Amino acid sequence: MKNLLHPDLNFRLNGRLWVETDDDRFMGIGRLELLTQIQEQGSISKAAQQMGMSYKRAWNLVSSLNAQAAAPVVHTQTGGKRGGGAEVTPAGQQLIQEYRELQERFQAFMAAEAARLF
Amino acid sequence: MKNLLHPDLNFRLNGRLWVETDDDRFMGIGRLELLTQIQEQGSISKAAQQMGMSYKRAWNLVSSLNAQAAAPVVHTQTGGKRGGGAEVTPAGQQLIQEYRELQERFQAFMAAEAARLF
DNA sequence: ATGCGTTATATTTTCTCAAACATAACGACG
DNA sequence: CGTCGTTATGTTTGAGAAAATATAACGCAT
């Protein structure tokens, strides 16, 4: 491929990987980041803010995740101490770990292919 | 991952892979399909029509490809027999082949990961 | 009780990207 | 020389997604 590419430009291989159902996305790199932020912040709104995303969008993602999981991956509470909050359930933590590992293998795949291509 | 997923839904692994520069995409599955169609049809407009995409969009993609390649991957001619046309150059054919092979390895990767996940 | 920060949710606005539309130029061919 | 199908390119429209805005409810804490 190297000989086909314009010599002045800097080429790289990139990609996305996700788990989907017939009519919705389930897990992807963005949702992984969101779950991680929720874990760290203990709150959907803080996680959204941290990621520069609207609260509504973050909430929708959490809702989609929970709706498609066997058991909720994020547990939320309205009102109470600190106004409420959100925490990643054990199932959610397992999801984070498994997807993170998948993502790492994907990165390795891309790195290997990039080495072959360029 | 299997135990985390809602049993009523059908999950699958999907993804995209592409070659990019700092400020544009160079090659991806859509462009591969377009190049293939141009090869078959001998015309950008027919290829676009075949893919249900506007001619302008197809032309823009071809323009982007040619601008980033070391040598044009599609050669076009305005006017003349059949009103003009487009053909994939040898460089373009090599690009098609190499990206197709990459895409196949990517599919294999995803299949292997899916087998592990579900 | 009142305030506070959060979840939950609907509605409106804005943004972005592709489609649609509109022309012009080109060159063979009848 | 006019027609035809194509490339080439600018402008406008439209659709869908994301953001912004707006409320309400919740429950601890003061």
DSSP-derived secondary structure letter, B81: G
Protein residues with Cβ atoms closer than 7 angstroms to any atom of nucleic acid strand C:
A 43-46, 55-56, 59, 62-63, 76-80, 82-86; B 52-54, 56-57, 78-81, 83-84
- Domain tally for chain B? 1
CATH number at residue B58: 1.10.10.10
Determine the pLDDT at residue A117.
96
Cα(A100)–Cα(A33) distance, rounded to whole angstroms?
10
Structural domain includes residue B86: yes
- Which CA distances in Å does A54 have to A46, B42, B69? 10, 47, 39
Single-letter code of the amino acid located at A39: Q
Whether B1 maps to a domain, the answer reads no
**Residues of chain B contacting A71 with CB distance shorter than 8 Å:** 4
The pLDDT assigned to A90 comes to 98
Q: Which among A7, A10, A19 has CB closest to B11?
A: A19
Per-residue confidence (pLDDT) for residue B24, from 0 to 100: 95
What pLDDT score was predicted for residue A105?
98
Out of B6, B70, B94, whose CB is closest to A7? B70
Tell me which residue range forms the domain holding B40. 21-71+79-117
User: What mean pLDDT comes out for the span A73-93?
Assistant: 96
For residue A93, being part of any structural domain is answered with: yes
* Residue B18 β-bridge partners: A14
Q: What is the mean pLDDT of residues B65-83?
A: 96
Angle B92-B20-A18 (CA atoms, 0-180°, nearest 5)? 110
pLDDT in tens, B17-73: 999 999 899 999 999 999 999 999 999 999 999 999 999 999 999 999 999 999 999
pLDDT of residue B73: 98
Positive or negative, the CA dihedral A26, A27, A29, A32 is positive
Q: What is the pLDDT of residue A96?
A: 98
Q: Is A115 on the interface with B (CB under 8 A)?
A: no
Query: Does A80 reside within a domain?
Result: no
* pLDDT recorded at residue A36: 97
A:B CB pairs within 8 Å? 112
Query: What's the gap between Cα B26 and its chain centre?
Result: 10
Inside any domain, residue B96: yes
pLDDT in tens, A12-28: 999 999 999 998 999 99
Please check whether residue A108 lies inside any domain of the structure: yes
Instruction: Report H helices in A1-118.
Output: 29-41, 44-51, 55-68, 90-117
Instruction: With respect to residue A92, please indicate whether it lies within any of the assigned structural domains.
Output: yes
Q: Token pair 């990139």 is at which residue? A: A14
pLDDT for B44 equals 97
Q: Which of B31, B13, B102 is nearest to A17 (CA)?
A: B13
- Please check whether residue B64 lies inside any domain of the structure: yes
Q: How far is the CA of B54 from the C1' of C18 (A)?
A: 8
pLDDT tens track for A20-78:
999 899 999 999 999 999 999 999 999 999 999 999 999 999 999 999 999 999 999 99
Q: What is the pLDDT of residue B42?
A: 96
